[in-house]
Amino acid sequence: MAGRDVPMHIPKHAAPELPSPDRIHLSAPDVGMAERDALLAAFDSNWIAPIGPALNELEDRLCDLTGTPAAVAVTSGTAALHLGLLALGVGPGDIVIVPSLTFVASANVVRYVGATPVFVDCDEATGNIDPNLLDIALRGLVNAGTAPAAVMTVDLYGSCADYSRIEEICSQYRVPILEDAAESIGATHAGRPAGSFGAVAAISFNGNKLVTSGGGGALVGPRHVIARARHLAGQARESALHFEHHEVGYAYRLSNLLAAVATAQLDRLGEMMSRTRAINLRYRDVLSMIPGVAVLDIDRDGRGNGWLTVVQIDQNRHPLPGAICEQMAEDNIEARPAWKPMHLQVAYENHVMIGGAASEQHFANGLCLPSGSSMTNADQERVIGSFLAALTRPPETQSAAIIDLDPEVDVRSEQPQQHLDSRAATQRAA
């Protein structure tokens, strides 16, 4: 009623709740006035359509950053990978080698073009594709007369794969590389930047990436490859006054507004990468002192951008990663298990896999900690405290249950490797 205080009736068993601390996300966007100003400037220019000055600037900046001749900005990293395969001529009936330890988009795009992925295990120390197993896979496929149309590499968690070896191996078999650099912008290998390896490379500006436009991506590489991708990304429209189309295309061009945000983010890439690397170093300094906890090395094959810090947890000493994530969620902190390998996914369980034990172990023991560049020191100490508290829980008895393995298979001792030295094995991939 007007002018009167109405008493609040609180049940006797309930007490007023204190405000919970702000949620700490795994990799929240790090945006501010620079990005806002760039977005408004693009808006005020009335270049709202996909093509515009900000889009052209972003593509030029990406060429400078990656040292590549050409770039096309598109709606997502997945779209960039899709276009990359199409531009390389990959199509129905082809085989593409893909790391099993990756986000599902890397495998899905192979299916988009009608090709079949053959999965290869990871290197234990980095999580990136194992060059030795890649060599075995290529030799087996080539000897069987079914040479793959491409090898897709993935720069996992922001660190480049071992391209010194991978490029040499693929060159020997004359198979082009599509670099999935969705997570690795700003990283380097042997002094070369992510995005500069192989025949063509894809970048992501998804909302959780180090450089983001809220959504988007790009394909970088030689001019003739990017020209083909650009044509397909614009609905494959021919040069005519009317709408003329000779083949199927896609509405994949990034908007000028989002390009403005991404360009402003590129201005801050060095600053943000310094912060994510410092966060990784702090985790490493603290957690390396705990028996049974190891931090994945982001610099073994170059200089990682620190996008995500991944820890490996000895399940004989500590709880399962999933249990730790649940405990940290109670503290309003987002942590995630490591990527689940593709050969363990229902959608890909019948596909050929070379190796498997390393990526299965990575998933069974791996945990991604919040690592975004917008995290404060206080945020990180809160994460560390929550993680350490979660470790005090008694370890679970069935450590392999999280990856849904056959109960008779112990991933700590089994080393399954399916080599493709016979035509029969290779035909399973066709």
367-380 as b/e: b if 16+ CB within 10 A: bbbbbbbbbeeebb
The single residue listed with the structure tokens 């996909």 is 50
Local structure of residue 123 (DSSP, 8 states): P
User: What tokens appear for 158 in the block?
Assistant: 């922001």
Q: Are residue 386 and residue 348 in the same domain, yes or no?
A: yes
Best CA proximity match to 203, nearest among 263, 155, 162, 163: 155
Amino acid at 416: P
Q: Are residue 50 and residue 135 in the same domain, yes or no?
A: yes
Q: Are residue 287 and residue 217 in the same domain, yes or no?
A: no
* E strand or H helix that includes residue 73: strand 70-74
In a domain, 71, yes or no: yes
Q: Are residue 181 and residue 300 in the same domain, yes or no?
A: no
Residue 288, number of CB atoms within 10 A of its CB = 11
In a domain, 19, yes or no: no
The answer, as to whether pTM is greater than 0.85, is yes
Q: Are residue 331 and residue 307 in the same domain, yes or no?
A: yes
Q: Are residue 260 and residue 277 in the same domain, yes or no?
A: no
The Cα 155–Cα 187 span in angstroms is 9
Q: Which of 267, 292, 318 is the last residue of a domain?
A: 267
In a domain, 159, yes or no: yes
Answer left, alpha or beta for residue 378, where phi above 0 means left and psi between -120 and 50 means alpha: alpha
In a domain, 278, yes or no: yes
Using only C-alpha atoms, the chain has a radius of gyration, in whole angstroms, of: 23
The Cα 371–Cα 378 span in angstroms is 13
Q: Are residue 52 and residue 121 in the same domain, yes or no?
A: yes
In a domain, 16, yes or no: no
For the chain, what is the domain count? Answer: 2
**Which pairing describes strands 70-74 and 336-337: parallel, antiparallel, or unpaired?**
unpaired
The Cα 73–Cα 52 span in angstroms is 12
In a domain, 81, yes or no: yes
The Cα 337–Cα 301 span in angstroms is 23
Q: Which of 267, 297, 317 is the last residue of a domain?
A: 267
pLDDT tens sequence across 256-305 = 999 999 999 999 999 999 999 999 999 999 999 999 999 999 999 999 99
Q: Are residue 124 and residue 239 in the same domain, yes or no?
A: yes
In a domain, 176, yes or no: yes
Residue 114, number of CB atoms within 10 A of its CB = 12
In a domain, 27, yes or no: no
Q: Are residue 149 and residue 116 in the same domain, yes or no?
A: yes
Q: Are residue 298 and residue 388 in the same domain, yes or no?
A: yes
CATH number assigned to the domain comprising residue 303: 3.90.1150.10
Q: What is the residue range of 306's domain? A: 270-403
Q: Are residue 258 and residue 317 in the same domain, yes or no?
A: no
- At residue 310, φ and ψ (nearest 5 deg) are -120, 130
Q: Are residue 116 and residue 255 in the same domain, yes or no?
A: yes
Given this model, what pLDDT does residue 8 score?
34
The Cα 190–Cα 181 span in angstroms is 16
Q: Which of 243, 267, 291 is the last residue of a domain?
A: 267
CATH number assigned to the domain comprising residue 217: 3.40.640.10
pLDDT in tens, the chain (430 residues): 334 333 333 333 444 455 567 999 999 999 999 999 999 999 999 998 778 999 999 999 999 999 999 999 999 999 999 999 999 999 999 999 999 999 999 999 999 999 999 999 999 999 999 999 999 999 999 999 999 999 999 999 999 999 999 999 999 999 999 999 999 999 999 999 999 999 999 999 999 999 999 999 999 999 999 999 999 999 989 999 999 999 999 999 999 999 999 999 999 999 999 999 999 999 999 999 999 999 999 999 999 999 999 999 999 999 999 999 999 999 999 999 999 999 999 999 999 999 999 999 999 999 999 999 999 999 999 999 999 999 987 655 444 333 333 333 333 233 333 444 433 333 333 3
